[in-house]
Structure 1
Amino acid sequence: MGNIKGRGSPLRHHPEAVEIDLIRGLFHAFAPALVMTISFLSAGLVILNRTGDSILLVLLILGAVASVARLVSAHLIAPIIHAEGVTIEQARYLERLFAIPYLCFSLVLGLFGFRLLQLPSADTHMVAAALSLSYCAGVAVGMGSRMWIAVPSMILALGPVIAAMLLQPDFLYKLSGAVMAAILLSGIQSLRGKQNRSADDIALRIAFSHLARKDALTALPNRIALREWWEQVVASGAENKLVAVHYLDLNDFKPVNDRHGHPVGDALLAAAGKRIARTIRDSDIVARLGGDEFAVIQYDIVNADDAAQLAARIREAITQPFSIGALTLKISTGHGFVVSRGRDEALEDLLALADKALYTSKQGGEISQYEAVETITRRVA
């Protein structure tokens, strides 16, 4: 990736996500590839009809096969590479599958142009230059973010044409070949800057997207991220999975905030969030809903006892003293939860019921469960 992994670049925080997005960008250039295929075949058929050259016929057939393979692979791979959950290994594999026919067509196009320049007609020479240069321009636009494909493609397509021009006895041909070589070199150099800018732009977009889903104070997921997690994990998961939704707040937080100030209160919230996060499994999620309120979702539990045990662990963790600067602070938590087969339930409904259980716990001083183990749909107001 060049220097885009520098210390100040956001790319270093999301390198794999950036690379996946760069690979996905390869599959937005279907129309230019189709135009190039039509142009190559049309020009080739016209010239073949005029010359009857057997070498051109072979190259035309090979180019047609490679070009069709290029279009078909792009069409088949595009929905796979744009699917959610694609790993970097899968993305790189799909990229290699896409690159094979792309590079093959580049080579055939270069050899086709080389052969045209060996023919005596100046018209065919003009066609060779036009096809190769227009192809390289398309590569720079559509493939510029992946230099390992773009640079070889440009060299394969334009290199043989440049060589054929330099071999011509006419000085103007040699001059044209030199100019095309300079254009190729400058184009390769400009691609480096384009790749760097594209990667940094993607990294910034990913970083901002992550920030929009993260609570700035505690660094926990926020309500938006919680909802997205629910849709991805629970709503699209197995039907028979039990889910526990916990709703909790911090008792005595407001007096601490009022007495010691917001900086101490903010530090206390962040510390409490970390303690809650340490009590859950990797398959669960904790989010800050706002103020001193948090939500925890347990996915795929055995029964309601699992939820009750987690609630007890959270309560125990929060009741331990907090050291905030020179202060030692003690708080507790109000905690309610609801257990349901969550795939067919709305997250907001479950949160509302867990909040009711939280209110009940405040009245009795104990963790409260909203009794809804099998289904709660009928109980939602």
Structure 2
Amino acid sequence: MRLPSASVPDGTYVELVRSLFRTLPPTILITLIFSALALLITRETPDPLLDLLGIFGTVAAAARITLLLLLRRRAADDTLGIAEARRMERQFALSYLGFAAIIGSFGARAFMVAAPDARIAVTALLVGYAAGVATGISYRPWIGVSAMLMGVVPTIAVTLATPGIDYRAAGCVLLILLAGGIHSIIGRYHYATAGITMRRAFAALARKDGLTGLPNRLALGERFDEISSRKGIRGDIAVHCLDLDRFKPVNDRYGHPTGDLLLQAVAERLGRLLRNHDFAARVGGDEFVVLQPGIGDVSEANLFARRTARLIAEPYVIGDLTIIIGTSIGFALASQHGMDLEKLIAAADAALLRAKDLGGGATVAAAPVRRAG
């Protein structure tokens, strides 16, 4: 049995943590079953320790439900990051393993002091609990395996230490089921991790320009939707459309391989200009789009465009060649043209054409839309 790897890609890890917070229905079910069974057994078995374990277990189960209700919406958010996912996993593990320790102690104590009928019910509870762990928490095996061990091993120890073939047989059956559950958890974890990692890799490829490594038009649209709906970013959004000047003569004179290297160099320079929330994409040929959120007014967008034009116009050394090109830039503001990305790109493209008409190497802002009334 191959143990889980200690490291997975960050995006895969976040997806695995998200799975923990989709366990509300089985959590509610095991809470109801445990509470009802604990009530029945403690009423028939006068034992202060068993009473306390029943109360603590019900409280711990309620705390698990509360945690899931509080965090499941955040867990499903696409903006969930690695640091926050780790913190949420620790919170989940604390509540989950706390309940596992209590249900394990309750089961062991019930086998020691309760009537035979109650022991049968406890055995069914533990088998059902372990099965739920194996299916619901298998994507985080360190939590799942720990919970199964804490929940079942105390009762196994009691049954194996109790005289009588029936008890020892029950202990052996629980031990076999425990081993099978652990094997199932680890197998499901490896299968899920490989599948999620592959799916994310294909999704990333579908959103990346193969030549420059920049995001493509699909990723651009998704990023714009994310930025426009995010509450933490204030201010306006500028959409810059860039078209390289004198790029076609480079391709015609030196060939497409040189042109491709030039595009890669341009993409690298664009990446150096971006702030934390800025976003650049290659949308075709020698055309690029940059999203600049969180700006105060048009002057900030104009300053960014001019800086971009100056940096791209600096000479490129490719092999033995020194190549000089330029860029024309048109930009549009969301506050003047609305929050529709295609309309913003169309307005920025129109401004770009005016920049080309000025001879290239220029930056032009799109004219504001006149609103009726």
After TM superposition, the score normalised by the length of structure 2 is: 0.86
Question: What is the CA distance between 1:141 and its match in structure 2?
Answer: 1.0
Q: Aligned residue pairs: how many?
A: 369
Listed one character per residue, the Cα deviations across residues 20-46 of structure 1 (whole Å, up to 9, x for unaligned) are: 221111111222222222222333333
Q: Is 1:64 aligned to 2:58, yes or no?
A: yes
Task: Quote the offset at 1:56 in angstroms.
Answer: 3.4
Determine helix, strand or coil for the equivalent of 2:349: helix
CA displacement at 1:377 relative to structure 2: 5.8
CA distance in 1 between partners of 2:366 and 2:254 (Å): 39
Q: Indicate conservation of the 8 Å contact 1:213/1:222, yes or no.
A: yes
Within 5 Å, give how 1:1-381 maps onto structure 2: 2-3=4-5, 5=7, 11=8, 14-15=9-10, 17-119=11-113, 121-234=115-228, 236=230, 241-339=235-333, 341=335, 344-366=338-360, 367-372=362-367, 375-376=368-369, 378=371
- Compute the displacement of 1:218 (Å): 0.9
User: Greater shift after overlay, 275-284 or 217-226?
Assistant: 275-284
**Contact 2:235/2:294, CA 8 A, preserved across alignment:** yes
CA–CA distance in structure 1, aligned partners of residues 31 and 276 of structure 2: 49
CA distance in 1, matches of 2:207, 2:298: 29
Which whole-Å CA distance do the structure 2 matches of 1:75 and 1:338 have between them?
42
Distance in 2 between residues matched to 1:355 and 1:76, nearest whole Å: 45
- Residue 302 of structure 2 contacts residue 365 of structure 2 at CA under 8 Å; is this kept in 1? no
- Give per-residue Cα distances to partners, 1:184-237, cap 9 Å, x unaligned: 234334433333332332222333332222212111122222223323334545
Using the alignment, how far apart are the partners of 1:345 and 1:83 within structure 2?
A: 22
Residues 121-141 of structure 1: CA distance to partner in whole angstroms, max 9, x if unpaired?
432222222111110111111
What are the Cα deviations for residues 261-288 of structure 1, in whole angstroms up to 9, with x where unaligned?
4333322222222223323434422211
**Contact 2:17 2:85 (8 Å CA) reproduced:** yes
- How much is the aligned-residue C-alpha RMSD, in angstroms? 2.9
In the alignment, the residues of structure 1 paired with residue 80 and residue 295 of structure 2 have an alpha-carbon distance, to the nearest angstrom, of 27
- Aligned partners of 1:254 and 1:183: how far apart in 2? 69
Q: SS in structure 1 opposite 2:21?
A: helix
Q: Is the 8 A contact 1:241 1:341 kept in 2?
A: no
**Secondary structure at 1:338 match in 2:** strand
Partner in structure 2 of residue 8 of structure 1? none
Q: What TM-score results when the alignment is normalised by the length of structure 1?
A: 0.85
How many angstroms apart in 1 are the aligned matches of 2:44 and 2:131?
A: 28
State how far apart, in whole Å, the 2-side matches of 1:67 and 1:260 are: 70
Aligned AA (1:376): V
Is the 1:318–1:333 Cα contact (8 Å) retained in structure 2? Answer: yes
**Would you say the 8 A contact 2:337–2:343 is kept in 1?**
no
Query: Match of 2:211, SS?
Result: coil
Aligned-partner residue type, residue 223 of structure 2: W
Counterparts in 2 of 1:273 and 1:342: CA distance versus 1, 3 Å = farther
CA distance in 2, matches of 1:66, 1:113: 15
Q: 1:169 to 1:271 in 2, by over 3 A?
A: same
Alpha-carbon distance, 1:113 to partner: 1.7
Q: Which amino acid aligns with 2:167?
A: Y
C-alpha contact (below 8 Å) 2:135/2:185 kept by paired residues:
no
2:344 counterpart SS class: helix
Unaligned runs of 5+ in 2: none
Instruction: Give the partner amino acid of 1:284.
Output: D
Moved more, 300-309 or 209-218: 300-309
One-letter amino acid of the counterpart of residue 65, structure 1:
V
Amino acid at match of 1:3: S
**What are structure 1's unaligned runs of at least 5 residues?**
6-10
Shift of 1:154: 1.0
- SS of match in other structure, 1:36: helix
Counting aligned pairs with the same residue, the percent is 38
